[in-house]
Amino acid sequence: MMGVGMAGVTARLLISAGLMLAATLPGTAWGYDAMVILYSGQDRGGSTLDIEADTENLAGDGWNDRARSLTVTGGTWEVCRHAGYRDCETVRAWDVINDLSRIGLDQAISSVRRIDRPASEPAATTGTGSSIVWNTRRPTTLWSLTSAGDCRPDIRAAFAQRFGSAGEGDFDGGPSDGRLTWDGKVWGYNCAYRQTDIWPED
């Protein structure tokens, strides 16, 4: 949705104020909806596009290779050079990037998706019944009681459900912990009776 008029300007001023205050108050929770705001100009100038849901191809909104700066109001997202979520950079809540050349994506974003939401129907690991938890980074503490079975088939199924079946799905590790490369991105996994954790390795 394009941001126009004084109401849109006021909303963005409030968001900007919240972003600056959040930088000085770690751990502060804010009520803004999680979205990525793309701007056609540097320093958050020009016209805008609010992205609140996964967008596989920005060409449909007339925004392919158009954005020059961005703001993230919440969540963890991938902004990608190609349609279909390929060749991506990760951005997180409260990120303000006034010049997208800083991450090599000036006028080069073609798709955007959020990556910190749990799967809509979490899969269960083989023989354990534990739910899969999608993390934004490697958890500080992992459950140490590993699964008695091989959870890799269910992890592969969870990735296919979340990202589509076109990923590579190459495992580097054992039946209960290791890494998985999916569509060029490396993820870590740890399977336990209590839960199975998955996180991006970047």
Beta bridge partner(s), residue 170: 181
Report pTM: 0.50
Question: Residue 6: what are its φ and ψ, rounded to 5°?
Answer: -65, -35
pLDDT of residue 74: 86
Contacts of 171 (CB under 8 A, 6+ apart): 152, 178, 179, 180
Beta bridge partner(s), residue 187: 180, 200
The pLDDT > 90 percentage for the chain reads 31
Q: What is the pLDDT of residues 30-46, one digit of tens each?
A: 334 789 999 999 999 99
- The pair of three-digit structure tokens given for residue 141, joined into one six-digit string: 């503490």
DSSP-derived 3-state class of residue 136:
coil
Alpha carbon distance 154, 151 (integer Å): 6
Question: Residue 122: what are its φ and ψ, rounded to 5°?
Answer: -55, 135
Which of the given ranges, 51-65, 79-93, 133-147, 149-163, has the highest pLDDT on average?
51-65
Greatest Cα pair distance in the chain = 59
Say if strands 131-134 and 195-200 run parallel, antiparallel, or are unpaired. Answer: parallel
Domains of the chain: 5-114 (2.60.20.10), 131-200 (no CATH)
- The answer, yes or no, to whether residue 97 has pLDDT greater than 60, is yes
What's the whole-number mean pLDDT along residues 15-21?
A: 49
Higher pLDDT, 88 or 41: 41
Alpha carbon distance 137, 154 (integer Å): 20
What's the whole-number mean pLDDT along residues 154-159?
A: 84
Alpha carbon distance 161, 55 (integer Å): 17
Identity at 114, one-letter amino acid code: R
- The answer, yes or no, to whether residue 127 has pLDDT greater than 90, is no
